[in-house]
Amino acid sequence: MTTAELSADGSYARVVGSGGDRIFGYLKRYKWPYLAGFVALLGATVLALLPPLVVNWAVDDIDRTIRGVGGDIGAAGLLRYAALIAAIALAEGVLRYFSRWVVSGSSRRIEYGLREDLANHLLRLDQGFYVQARTGDLMSRLTNDLQAVRDFLGPTVVDITRSIVILVAGFAFMWAIDLRLTLIAFAYLPVVILLMAYFETNIEKRFFEVQDQIAELTERSQENISGIRAIKAYAQEDAEIRTFARENEEMRRRSMRLGKYEAALLPSMIVLTQGGTLLVLWFGGHDVVDGRISLGDFTQFFLILTILSSQLMAVGWIVASAQLGVVAIRRINEIFRTTSAIADGPHTTSHLRGDVEFQGVTVRFGAAEPILRDVSLRIAAGSTVAIVGATGQGKTTLVNLVPRLLDPVEGSVLVDGVDVREYRLDDLRQQVGFVPQESFLFSESLRENVSYGRQDASDEDYQGALDISQLSNDLQQLTQGLDTVIGERGMTLSGGQKQRAAIARALLKDPPVLILDDALSHVDTHTEEEILRRLRTYMRGRTTILIAHRTSTLRSADRIVVLEDGAIVEQGSHADLIARDGVYARIYREQLALESRSEDVDARLVEREHAPDTPADGEGGAP
């Protein structure tokens, strides 16, 4: 429905769907529990205002008894009032528990559903999104923001409702006793609100400063951990420690600033509200003495004022937490509204022949010059094409188009004569074995890593994939063979082993189209040739696209395509291109010179890597 579009300034923009408010949808789903919770809450809050009324009756009764004007309260009378208060408190407690339970329960269910939705949504977003997104930011949306939303939809909405009901009902009760006194008590309210607003804005500002700094610290910690090898290789530990200390110091400064306001909030509120109490005591006291209101009414008035004041003190926090919740909802909805620039097509397929064709493909990132310009290339099913070109010429970009890791701005890519955008993504990608330039392994066993694209593989399939990728030779070096757990990002595997694991993973999918993006660069030439030899047999009748620099790989291809500056400048067989003595011939000669210079090193490398493996080599078995 939505696709990547070039905005006016040419930047890579995505159409933001009106995807709607996911959270609102959830609230609708849970409307009945919420309604029940709020009805119970209303009851509980009104009940909380009733004990002062009972005290009112009791005090008047006591007063009459003391003054001997028709009252005789006695122990039984006092007990009756006490029992009434206990009963009200009990009922209030039950209702309050019920309302919190229902509302909090719903908010937790919403959090659970949202987390799942968000994770699913994130996994479906295209690569372009992740190029722009910051990991730390996404992590904090998935954790902190979700939590803030849960708190908002749970305790915070309960508190907000309770505050409103107490204010309104309290006002009504007080008015029923005496309007003048009520106005005196509430005359104070604007001052309280002003003070609260002052603290509110300050606390909020400081709070966001702290949140920003937390994000910064998270990002730094995360990069320090995942980049530890680079840090150590460049002996940057001390520098990183200093940077971290600086950020941490900033964190301390900011949270102290926040603490200053937080610490001042409650005392200021107490002092202010006590001021209100003072006024009511002064005017109300006179009213009682002058007989305008009864002692009981005065007591009830006072008690309600106390309940009201303490609720007022909490309002600051409630508003702050509500604001946090609203911001979090916005941040989460932002992700939900981001749609994948690469969407499913209608065409389902379970088997492709592997005909690949680029038709006038142009790729451009933002306003920059195009990376690929009007590239047309046909790769017949069953053939092997090698793509060469200097670094940064667009080789990776070109092959990324086939499994739709990227869509072209102009032109199209066809597989078996059908635009790749027409296929269901899963179907297309299942049929394309793709070994990216940077292989990524998960922190799981080697077996799980290899079977990543296909869990139902038989032992034979495994053996085949391991043999072709020559990984079978390395297994005995690993403590538990295939079941060896590979550290995060394959820390325990060598660069060449990682690449070959990635190749085995792609082969296990048994794909009609195989793309190797410089996937043999860390493998020694001897092993490389062995892999290529086996691949040739295996890939008979399938399409292979190899991005390569090595002469051995180049010679193995049926056809060679030379990319320069985003365009195809030469193509043909190795022999043809050499005879032509153009760009390819130059690249080839340079590469040959490079390889002969490093031959010595290479030979030693081969010796080292293969010496212990020689017996297994025979076992590995050529097909």
Ligand X SMILES: Nc1ncnc2c1ncn2[C@@H]1O[C@H](COP(=O)(O)OP(=O)(O)OP(=O)(O)O)[C@@H](O)[C@H]1O
Per the structure block, which two tokens stand in for 124?
């479906």
Q: Which does 479 bind (CB under 5 to 8 A by kind): ligand X, Mg ion, none?
A: none
Query: Smallest distance from the beta carbon of 252 to Mg ion, in angstroms?
Result: 44
CA 248 – CA 231 distance, rounded (Å): 19
Q: How far apart are CA 293 and CA 54, in angstroms?
A: 16
106 binds, among Mg ion, ligand X, none (CB under 5 to 8 A by kind): none
List residues binding Mg ion (CB under 5 A): 396, 437
Instruction: Tell me which of 120, 391, 455, 614 binds ligand X, using CB under 6 A.
Output: 391
Binding site partner of 556, from Mg ion, ligand X, none, Cβ cut-off 5-8 A by kind: none
Residue 392 as a binder of ligand X (CB under 6 A): the answer is yes
Task: Name the minimum Å distance from CB 529 to Mg ion.
Answer: 22
CB 2 within 8 A of CB 14: yes
Q: Determine contact, residues 415/354, Cβ cutoff 8 Å.
A: yes
d(C-alpha 364, C-alpha 455), whole Å: 36
393 binds, among Mg ion, ligand X, none (CB under 5 to 8 A by kind): ligand X
Q: Distance between CA 215 and CA 230 in Å, rounded?
A: 22
133 SS3 class:
coil
> Within positions 434 to 493, which residues make up the interface with ligand X, using CB under 6 A?
437
- Report if residue 131 touches ligand X, rule: CB under 6 A: yes
| Distance of closest approach, residue 518 Cβ to Mg ion, in angstroms | 6
Query: Minimum CB separation from ligand X for residue 566, in Å?
Result: 8
Question: Smaller CB distance to Mg ion: residue 125 or 563?
Answer: 563
Please tell me whether residue 476 adopts helix, strand or coil conformation: helix
Comparing CB distances to Mg ion, the nearer of 18 and 391 is 391
Nearer to ligand X, 171 or 365 (CB): 365
Supply the minimum distance, in Å, between the C-beta of residue 549 and ligand X. Answer: 8
13 forms bridges with which residues in the sheet? 5
Q: Which stretch binds ligand X (CB under 6 A): 236-244, 389-397, 519-527, 535-543?
A: 389-397
Task: Work out how close the CB of 434 gets to Mg ion at its nearest, in angstroms, rounded to a whole number.
Answer: 13
E strand or H helix that includes residue 321: helix 295-337
CB 473 within 8 A of CB 438: no
Nearer to Mg ion, 324 or 399 (CB): 399
Distance of closest approach, residue 391 Cβ to ligand X, in angstroms: 3
Residues β-bridged to residue 423: 347
- Which positions from 497 through 526 interact with ligand X, judged by CB under 6 A? none
Q: Which is nearer to Mg ion, 320 or 563 (CB)?
A: 563
Contact call for residues 223 and 231 (beta carbons, < 8 A): no
Of 41 and 547, which has the nearer Cβ to ligand X? 547
Stretch that binds ligand X, among 104-112, 338-346, 395-403, 478-486 (CB under 6 A): 395-403
- Verify binding: residue 371, ligand X, rule CB under 6 A: yes
Residue closer to ligand X, measured from CB, 188 or 434: 434
Nearer residue to ligand X within complex by CB, 371 or 450: 371
Nearer to ligand X, 339 or 393 (CB): 393
C-alpha–C-alpha distance, residues 64 and 72, integer Å: 8
Q: Given CA atoms 423, 425, 427, 428 in this order, what sign does their dihedral have? A: positive
The answer to whether 389 contacts ligand X (rule: CB under 6 A) is yes
Q: How far is CA 422 from CA 81, 341, 371, 376, 550, in A?
A: 78, 14, 24, 19, 35
Please count the other Cβ atoms lying within 10 Å of the Cβ belonging to residue 194.
11
Min dist CB 439 to Mg ion, Å, is 13
The string over 569-593, giving b where at least 16 C-beta atoms fall within 10 Å of a residue's C-beta and e elsewhere, is ebbbebeebbeeeebbeebbeebee
Structure tokens at 512: 């009609």
Q: How far apart are CA 109 and CA 30, in angstroms?
A: 9
Residue 467 or 517: which CB sits closer to ligand X? 517
Say whether residue 397 binds ligand X (CB under 6 A). yes
Distance of closest approach, residue 105 Cβ to ligand X, in angstroms: 44
Q: Which does 131 bind (CB under 5 to 8 A by kind): Mg ion, ligand X, none?
A: ligand X
* Tokens at 213, concatenated: 């700094």
DSSP class of residue 16 equals B
207 within 8 A of 325, measured Cβ to Cβ: no
Q: Which of 395, 421, 505, 509 binds ligand X (CB under 6 A)?
A: 395
Q: Which does 552 bind (CB under 5 to 8 A by kind): ligand X, Mg ion, none?
A: none
In terms of CB distance, is 136 or 394 closer to ligand X? 394
CB of 393 to ligand X, least distance (A): 4
Query: What is the smallest separation between the CB atom of 395 and ligand X, expressed in angstroms?
Result: 3
Q: Is 158 helix (H, G, I), strand (E, B) or coil?
A: helix
* Binder of residue 365, out of Mg ion, ligand X, none (CB less than 5 to 8 A by kind): ligand X
Please, what is the minimum distance in Å from the beta carbon of residue 565 to ligand X? 10
| Two tokens, residue 378 | 């046909």
Residue placing its CB nearer to ligand X in the complex, 317 or 365: 365
Confirm if 572 and 580 have CB atoms less than 8 A apart.
Answer: yes
Measured CA distances, 120 to 4, 114, 134, 343, 354 (Å): 20, 10, 18, 14, 30
Q: List residues binding ligand X (CB under 6 A).
A: 131, 365, 371, 389, 391-397, 437
